[in-house]
Structure 1
């Protein structure tokens, strides 16, 4: 039996990228399959009939959500009505859990198979949400292995499909060639410094990271610091911060984007926790994760978050392979000391790079194909493969 109709709902640009890959893989298995729901330009290019613009669901922040709540409720009601009339083989929500899980629950109650692609961080905080997820989906598709372990523990059907970013990045990269392309000295040590992509992260981390880099440059006379700015606005903000560190200016190369190239070229990476830590791991580079936030936010997070670690490399490895300095521990002196150890211990860096290459290989699983296989199995009422990362 082949799938004929798949209802997909994505909520943001990352979901559009995942959805387009999933659609290509589903078309390879089911040549006549049709797609409706909500998608962006990539999904539309793959044949999606999108009922609303992708931006409809891209609402961030409590105030913005409340402001747009009537519209979001109306959109979900319309999607439910149209999906029930179309009778797809399966409905797949792609991320955007606050919106899509509710729609999945409604459609599942009406007899339509449902799946959710990309787990919310239920393993980290508000773990009680897993009960609602179990009522909403016939299967969860996770990008990371420890997420799948969590769902298995709670008896929710799950498939670990691998991470598309791991598929995208090569298992081997060329540090020397990347340094040459960026105009770096082949032999001088390089630190990639990524203080974050959001304005708040630059505000809380910018001075701390640059002060740590200044201290580190005093210990390493030839150290080069490369700072990839996530946007033109971040570039201007970092440039303004650099004016407070005149001795550092000549040692820093500020880039427009090119975060991946900066990490590949580096010997070590200093970064804020988040997707950048996963990307640094997939570039096989030693790193230090440091993070600061508003005191009230940190107080609340300490009481809500249930994980031992905050960085994805440690969560994936389920052990402390990457040092983490959070809030008051993230001082310029502590950061400089940790980075000095990393830069001074060549053997330790090589061991970390080898470990990250192995972890990369475990995540590089052709995620779109595996997701298509899992969705097909869910739609046909077949069990999901209970495989683990090796």
Structure 2
């Protein structure tokens, strides 16, 4: 019997890891999986000691507010792993949590693999020292990242971006609109994605839902709710943020994840939309892979913003802009992120179809460069790591 512990820190990590683990199970049928995951990893039979939601924080202030809980999760994870005796550990993203765990497990002789390199090319480059102490094999999802690890002693392999494999090169907008129950009329669809964490929703809601409410005059406006928990969170927040309820009353639709579908509701919404209004993060890349013009907005606590700005290496935050090395889509950060600015920028995309067509061509090239069959590559590497670890016992 072979054992692997995996830790994912949010919904996108759960999706990526589950796809790779399904393939790994075909290569190693006797494999046992345990660790921290979400509903998709649980559905394929992983024993989840904790939920990915326990690690879902962003920024210094939110992390500090949950520090005691996160430290408790780390303590018990290491205790369970010590009893369970895995030979390989897979950390998916969540570097502030996973690197510490990896360093401890590596010290006990566990082979450590980390999927999704920390963005040391964007900010906090000094983290390379911690990576050297913690990681045996770094699996990179962007092609330029492997060069960063030259001469560091960390093995690095480019595997492509797992999400790029899940998205069709030519998404079917008409079918997606039908799936969402959006009328097949001349009005465009605007996707509004203010984030999935409570901290993101608290800080982004005024600007995003204010813009969403105004945009109902021109478009069908839809907000994907990835889970019942997110719907409940939006309902709670609407009592403290009147703009959320006002947007709903103006015609903004919240669309929940169907229980009978494995396709993330965010993907259906992005396929259906003409323009996306997106908070920074993986969702910006997903919008680019769906070939959709977008506007990026993001707010964090002022202290977090000052600390992040001081330690940043690059000036842009949106993954499409970073990967294409120029600002191809607008970004509105902190005080610039207000309802009027976001509304005007979305309308500018709707009113300039030629500009949108040129952007779509750039996004198509980006999709090609990232679509390499990542789940199979990750599974092959993990199978090899397991072979090495168990042969060496």
Q: Tell me, what secondary structure is at the counterpart of 2:51?
A: helix
For 2:367 and 2:212, how far apart are their aligned partners in 1? 28
- Aligned residue for 1:201? 200
Within the candidate set 142, 154, 157, 2:155 is matched to 157
Shift of 1:298: 1.7
Within the candidate set 237, 241, 244, 2:243 is matched to 241
- Aligned residue for 1:113? 111
Within the candidate set 164, 175, 186, 1:166 is matched to 164
For 2:244 and 2:100, how far apart are their aligned partners in 1? 46
Q: Tell me, what secondary structure is at the counterpart of 1:358?
A: helix
- Aligned residue for 1:283? 290
Question: Unaligned stretches of 5+ in structure 2?
Answer: 58-62, 258-264, 389-393
Q: In 2 relative to 1, CA 189–129 (structure 1 residues): closer, same or farther, beyond 3 Å?
A: same
For 1:299 and 1:376, how far apart are their aligned partners in 2? 43
Q: Tell me, what secondary structure is at the counterpart of 2:139?
A: strand
Shift of 1:288: 0.5
- Aligned residue for 2:391? none
- Aligned residue for 2:331? 324
Within the candidate set 253, 264, 269, 2:271 is matched to 264
For 1:292 and 1:153, how far apart are their aligned partners in 2? 37
User: C-alpha deviations, 1:54-94, integer Å up to 9, x for none?
Assistant: 339934533543356366335425524653xx6x3x44333
- Aligned residue for 1:224? 220
Shift of 1:171: 1.7
Q: Aligned pair 1:191/2:186, yes or no?
A: no
Bigger shift: 255-264 or 296-305?
A: 255-264
User: C-alpha deviations, 1:20-54, integer Å up to 9, x for none?
Assistant: 433333343345x5335525575566565x4x713
Q: Aligned pair 1:35/2:32, yes or no?
A: yes
Shift of 1:369: 0.9
Q: In 2 relative to 1, CA 295–91 (structure 1 residues): closer, same or farther, beyond 3 Å?
A: closer
For 1:302 and 1:185, how far apart are their aligned partners in 2? 44
Q: In 2 relative to 1, CA 341–138 (structure 1 residues): closer, same or farther, beyond 3 Å?
A: same
Contact 2:5 2:81 in 1 (8 A): no
User: C-alpha deviations, 1:241-280, integer Å up to 9, x for none?
Assistant: 25557xx955544433543333222221112212221221
- Aligned residue for 1:301? 308
For 2:192 and 2:34, how far apart are their aligned partners in 1? 40
Q: In 2 relative to 1, CA 10–203 (structure 1 residues): closer, same or farther, beyond 3 Å?
A: closer
- Aligned residue for 1:388? none
Contact 2:117 2:139 in 1 (8 A): yes
RMSD (CA atoms): 3.5
Q: In 2 relative to 1, CA 339–141 (structure 1 residues): closer, same or farther, beyond 3 Å?
A: same
Shift of 1:349: 1.0
Aligned residues: 367
What are the residue-to-residue correspondences of 1:319-358 with 2, within 5 Å? 319-358=326-365
Q: In 2 relative to 1, CA 136–339 (structure 1 residues): closer, same or farther, beyond 3 Å?
A: same
Question: Unaligned stretches of 5+ in structure 1?
Answer: 382-390
Contact 1:139 1:378 in 2 (8 A): no
Q: Normalising to structure 1: TM-score of the pair?
A: 0.79
Contact 1:235 1:256 in 2 (8 A): no
For 1:366 and 1:243, how far apart are their aligned partners in 2? 42
Shift of 1:371: 0.8
